[in-house]
Structures are given as C-alpha cells and as structure tokens.
Amino acid sequence: MHSNYQHSGFSSQPPLRFLAGYRLLRILGQGGMSEVYLGYDSQSARHVAIKLLAEDLAGDRTQLGRFAREAHLVTTLMHRNIVQGLNAGADEETGRHFLVMEYIDGPSAQDCVEQIGRMKVKDVVHIGLAVAQALEYLHCRNYIHRDIKPSNILLAPDGHARLTDLGLVKWADRAAEQLTATNDGFGTSYYMPLEQALNAHFVDARSDIFALGATLYHLLTGRVPFPGEDHQDILRMKRAGYYTPVSLWNPRVPTALEAILNRMLAVDPRKRYRSATDVLVALERTQLAHGYPSYRNQRLALRGPKQPEQFMLMDKTRPDLRAGSSVQRKNCVEELWYLRFRDHAGQTVFRKGTTEQVLRSLRKGRFRGMVFAARRRLKNFRPLAEYPEFHAYYAALPPSKPIPVGLPAPKAGWCRRLLGRRS
C-alpha cells in the first residue's frame, strides 16, 4: 500500500521503531483516523505498509469496528487489482491496532494528476479497466466501496492499478449497517454520486460506477467534473447534472470514451451502467488500452509474458482455489436462482442460473410474461421484479421505447441527413 495521507502533526509521542515483530522504517503519511508506516517484515524479507489506528480512537467502538472490518476485508479478499492485506491485530506492548498490507512502490493516480495535470488516454483506460475489475469482484460479493477516487488508486510498477482503502465499504449484513447508522453521506464530495451524498445507505453498484466515472474524468482533464467551494456547492451542481464535456478540456478523448463517461456520470442511477461488468465491456470495446501503460516499470515487463487484460472479466465465475470446497459450494448455491415462467406454447418451464445469467436473458428478451424466482429449489417463488438484485433492470425499463443516446452535434446532423435521404 502506498500512503495518500497528508503529513501533519499527528502525535507528540516519539516515533515507533518496532510493532508486532515488524520494523517501522519511516512514516508514509497520516490523517485524522490513522497513520501509515513503511515497514520491514524480516520473516518474508520484504517491505510492507503498516496502517495504525489513531491512539485517541482506541476507545471509539464505531471506529474500532470499521477498522476491524477493513482488516477482515483486505486480509480475506484476494484480487490482482485490490491491495492485499497480510496481517492484522493489536500490538501486545503498545495496544495499537494495526493492519499490515502489501507495499506498492508506486504513486497514486492523484499524485500523477498533481504532477502532470492530466494523464494519457491509454493510461486512464488501463486504470478504468483495473478498477472496474476490482469493483466487479467486490460487487459480486455484495460489497460497495463508497470511496472511489484518484488517491485510492495506486499505480504499481507491474502496470496493474490497485484499489485501496476499504474503510467505508458497505456490507450486506445488518451488523455492518450499525456502523453507518447516520443519514449523512460517507465518501468524498467531488466523486460520490448524489444518492450517496444524501444518505450513505442509498448506494449500490451504480454508485461506485458514478465515482469511477468522476475519477476517470479527473484523470483525463486534471479537473473534477463537479467543482465547488464546499459540499453544498458540489451537491447543487450534481442535482443540476451539468458539467463541462470531457472533450472540451482534453480534445484527445475519443467520442466513444466520452459517451462511456457521460453514462457513468448520469445523475439518475437508472441511466448509468447496471454493473461493473458492463463498464468493463464498454471500455474493452474502445480498444484504447493497447500495450502496457506508461507507468509500468519496463524491467518488470521482461520477467514474464504479457497476460491479456480480458481474462479478469470472468473472475467472478471462477472458483477460488485457495478456499475450501465447502465454501465454494456455499457460494455457488447462494448465486443460483430458480426460475418459473411460461414458454411460447404456454407450458410452465423451470430453469436455474446466476444473477448475471438471468439479467442477460432479460436484456435479450428471452422471457415472455411474468417471471417468478426463488433462491431455493421449487420453494417460495416470487415475481422476479420483487428481488433487489433485479430492481435496477425493471426500474430502468422505458415506458415505450429506449431513450436515444445523444451524439455530438456534427455526427447528429450527419445522422439526420442520412435518415432524411432514406425516408
């Protein structure tokens, strides 16, 4: 992990040198909630990043709970584009709560923007693909990140951007909801969607997609899409839904990429992409992420053959070989739906499939009439539209015909002329 905290006077106590068997070399950064050190693990002979909860928060049950949940997440989730946790606990000597993570010896996306103003289109698309892959992995497990922003994206020397800071992740269980019992929005004002700013509970996968869109906009232009002097100013701009088109700040942004960002930044969640997988597919189709990103260390490129970016698209359907077989079976059962509907001949048909498979069939119009679903085989069938997993699909259905996608003025005029000739 690379620190993105601002340096400030965090504590008047003498700096720590050792903690839980790790040697602390220097402080990387600090903030109001925690401080991050560059450490050395003598057992594995490698550098690590060690995050310490602030001493004055040791008695705060809410902050302790959040820190413990973040530690649990980063040490159990395993994905190429998420910073991996290695160890966590409380130091016996000092009582400090700590989280040990892999050390990413590279800048954050925020650092790059501050240094060069805006990034190359190819590099931004690489970052978008990497973060979308991480979000696909999280969303498949019912986690919402809620704090996607440039400073939480680390650019590793191997060329793979990594998502960090899972402290604000929304969990599916009720115990986790107690940690966000307030109606205030969590996250960062410039990047969070309107629904998250109004209430931290009003978020789903599409909320992270908005934040990723705002992040990519910032990386492409060096500016945030919704600037403002304070949180309320930013909120008013988001309600209006107006922002400067990305191509006006950066003419090198292709029309296809601009259209993707416009959809990600829609104020109405129903008009955004429904899933991170859809974002992945859209970014892949632009074919803008050719070759390696410029922030990749070229010496690492010689250590092995290049792996295709597309293989991560199917990660959520691959079994985790590090998990036990019983866990794998449990995950498979939880993802399956049992469907009941009538075919073209009016006969009752039973089928089963994952959430993504059902959504794909819905989009392709393979069902006619009412579709009923159950989580358990042949028990408790309910209309498919009543399940939260499919609310986004049914809410986004237009009353009559699909909403046309707006094109830039020159292309729109060309389309009108072409249609005029045909008519």
> Do the domain assignments include residue 290?
yes
Mean pLDDT value of segment 207-228 = 95
16, 36, 269 from 116: Cα distances, Å: 35, 25, 32
Residue 406 has pLDDT above 70, yes or no: no
Say whether both 64 and 27 belong to one domain. Answer: yes
Rounded Cα distance between 31 and 33, Å, is 6
- 246-288 pLDDT, tens digit per residue, is 999 999 999 999 999 999 999 999 999 999 999 999 999 999 9
pLDDT at 10 over 70: no
Residue 422 counted as domain residue: no
Please choose, from the candidates 88, 69, 101, 71, the residue with its C-alpha nearest in 3D space to the C-alpha of residue 20. Answer: 88
Q: Are 129 and 137 in contact (CB under 8 A)?
A: no
Q: Give dist(CA 396, CA 407) in Å, integer.
A: 21
More confident residue, 316 or 92: 92
pLDDT at residue 405, as a whole number: 37
Question: Which domain range does residue 39 map to?
Answer: 18-102
* pLDDT category of residue 187 using cuts at 50, 70 and 90: low
Q: How far apart are CA 39 and CA 70, in angstroms?
A: 19
Same domain, 93 and 116: no
The CATH number linked to 80 is 3.30.200.20
Q: Is residue 409 part of a domain?
A: no
Active-site position among 123, 147, 165, 204: 147
Residues 6+ apart with CB under 8 A from 291: 122
- The number of beta carbons lying within 10 Å of the beta carbon of residue 227 is 12
Domain count, the chain: 3
Is 70 exceeded by the pLDDT of residue 21?
yes
Looking at the domain assignment, is residue 319 inside a domain? no
Among the listed ranges 3-7, 173-177, 308-312, 419-423, which one has the minimum average pLDDT value?
308-312
Q: What is the Cβ-side half-sphere exposure of residue 146, based on CA atoms within 13 angstroms?
A: 24
Same-domain pairing of 121 and 78: no
* Predicted local confidence at residue 2, as pLDDT: 57
Tell me the pLDDT tens digit for each residue of 298-335: 665 445 444 433 333 333 333 333 344 444 334 334 45
Same domain, 233 and 90: no
* Helix ranges restricted to H, 302-400: 325-335, 355-363, 391-395
Residue 231 falls inside a structural domain: yes
- Weakest-pLDDT range from 141-145, 320-324, 370-374: 320-324
pLDDT for the residue numbered 218:
97
DSSP annotation string for 24-89 = EEEEEEE-SSEEEEEEEETTTTEEEEEEEE-GGGTT-HHHHHHHHHHHHHHHH---TTBPPEEEEE
**Is 128 in the same domain as 249?**
yes
- For residues 341 and 263, membership in a common domain is answered with no
29, burial (CB in 10 Å: exposed 0-12, middle 13-18, buried 19+)? middle
Q: Considering only CA atoms, which of 142, 114, 111, 280 is closest in space to residue 205?
A: 142
d(CA 381, CA 161): 42
310 falls within a domain: no
At residue 8, does pLDDT exceed 60? no
pLDDT at 375 over 60: yes
Q: What tokens were used for 23?
A: 């040697």
Residue 104 has pLDDT above 60, yes or no: yes
Instruction: Please name which of 393, 397, 348 lies closest in space to residue 369, comparing C-alpha atoms.
Output: 348
pLDDT at 240: 86
For residues 73 and 113, state if they share a domain: no
Highest mean pLDDT among 68-82, 183-197, 397-411: 68-82
Sorted by sequence, the CB contacts under 8 Å of residue 342 that are 6+ apart come out as 348, 349, 368, 369
Sign of CA dihedral 72, 75, 80, 83: positive
Whether 147 is catalytic is: yes
Q: Which helix H or strand E contains 129, and what residues bound it?
A: helix 121-140
Statement to judge: residues 294 and 163 lie in one domain: yes
| 8 Å CB contact between 144 and 203 | yes
**Which percentage of the chain shows pLDDT scores above 90?**
43
The mean pLDDT value of the chain amounts to 79
- pTM here is 0.67
pLDDT at 397 over 90: no
On whether residue 419 sits in a domain, the answer given is: no
Same domain, 119 and 228: yes
Higher local confidence (pLDDT), 206 or 372: 206
- For 350, the 3-state DSSP assignment is strand
Pair 81, 160: CB distance under 8 Å = yes
- Greatest mean pLDDT among 10-19, 22-31, 113-122 lies in 113-122
Q: What pLDDT was estimated at residue 15? A: 65
Q: Does one domain contain both 264 and 191? A: yes
